[in-house]
Amino acid sequence: MKTFHNPLHAAHAGRQEMFRGRMVPSYEVPERLEYVLAELRRRPLGELLEPEVGEAALEQALLRVHTGAYLEFLRGAWQAWVALDPDNAQRDALPSVWPLGHRHAFRMDAPTHHFAARLGQHAFDAGTPLTAGSWAAARAGAGCALAAAREVLAGARGAFALTRPPGHHAGPDYFGGYCFLNNAALAAQALRDGGCARVAVLDVDYHHGNGTQTLFYERPDVLTVSLHGDPATEYPYFLGFADERGAGAGQGCNLNLPLPRGSGFEAWSEALERALREVCDFGAQALVVPMGLDTFAGDPISGFTLRGEHYLRVGERLARAGLPTLFTFEGGYAVAELGANAVNLLQGFEAGAAGGSAGG
């Protein structure tokens, strides 16, 4: 399969994040993607390409998923941050105040102009540093997702969007969880717009794909399924529970499979089987897999215990669903093992796809 990688990803390099009451070095670092690229050169899956997506097509695609106001905010955020204080050029922007949605507590529609307030309106955590290069990097990453979608629409069995920064926590007009633009949602929407009547998103990152869920929550044409650490104890805490099944026309088109911290491959695989049954029953014509590798036992901020060889089996199992499949790169913070784990999963997929699939 072809891999589309982001030539501008390293422009987004956060210095620090707020983590459990302390400022710590960012976990989501450029080296993550470099390890995956190095492993892909060692164990090639196919061509490594930079995406070629025109400006106009990219703008149009971004507006299918995110609001114009949010995109404008991201585009000008760094400039506005430095305008507050020239010394801000030496530090990343992190929010420190948020408008909670409680009745009569705060005006969600307040005509705020100060950058600190606007940052709080568009961010849901203080773990996602916005840097001088965040917009350029996120935008180019979104281009990878679109290029991969085109590849699948042209008939490819699989495609890999090696996106960084990741995307699955980003919603219509907010960022968080290291994510600014929702690459998986952009890919799913591009597949829909390109003629796939029904698309399924199966998120295997350790953390619930809250942004993707929210974006498609009332949609009957895109199924969203997520296997993740139980939000009762795990980030992002406020979404990802089993009783969230979609709403309106999208009722029944969302499935969350939360698992307790400490879960191993056996319990995880059972949840994967359940997820794939849902994808099959939905009648999806294409599958998008937000591929997080933070389910790995050695991950420093997560709590499942999958091992390297398990990812081969995960890839094989995903291939047996028999669907054209697009992978986006999401979390995974055991940086040195990240390349091997990611390529294991993709190689497993390739092997499973080559071995022939019964389909469904």
What are the residues binding Zn ion (CB under 5 A)? Answer: 205-207, 292, 294, 331
Is the CA virtual torsion 87, 89, 91, 94 positive or negative? positive
- Closer to Zn ion by Cβ: residue 9 or 207: 207
Smallest gap from residue 208 Cβ to Zn ion (A) = 9
Note if 114 is an active site residue.
Answer: no
Q: Which two tokens stand for residue 105?
A: 């507590």
The residue among 121 and 226 lying less far from Zn ion, judged by its C-beta, is 226
Q: How many CA atoms lie within 13 A of 235 on its CB side?
A: 19
- What is the three-state SS of 267-282? HHHHHHHHHHHHHHHH
Neighbours of 270 (CB within 10 A): 14
> CA 133, CA 272: separation in Å to the nearest integer?
36
Which is nearer to Zn ion, 278 or 294 (by Cβ)?
294
Minimum CB–partner distance for residue 231 and Zn ion (Å): 12
Shortest Å distance, C-beta 331 to Zn ion = 3
Please identify, using beta-carbon distances, which residue of 5 and 207 lies nearer to Zn ion.
Answer: 207
Beta strands 22-25 and 16-19, pairing class: antiparallel
d(CA 172, CA 175): 9
Residue ranges of the alpha helices (H) in 127-264? 134-153, 183-193, 210-216
Catalytically annotated residue among 9, 66, 168, 169: 169
Min separation Cβ 125 and Zn ion, Å: 13
Q: Would you please indicate which residues are annotated as catalytic (active-site) residues?
A: 169
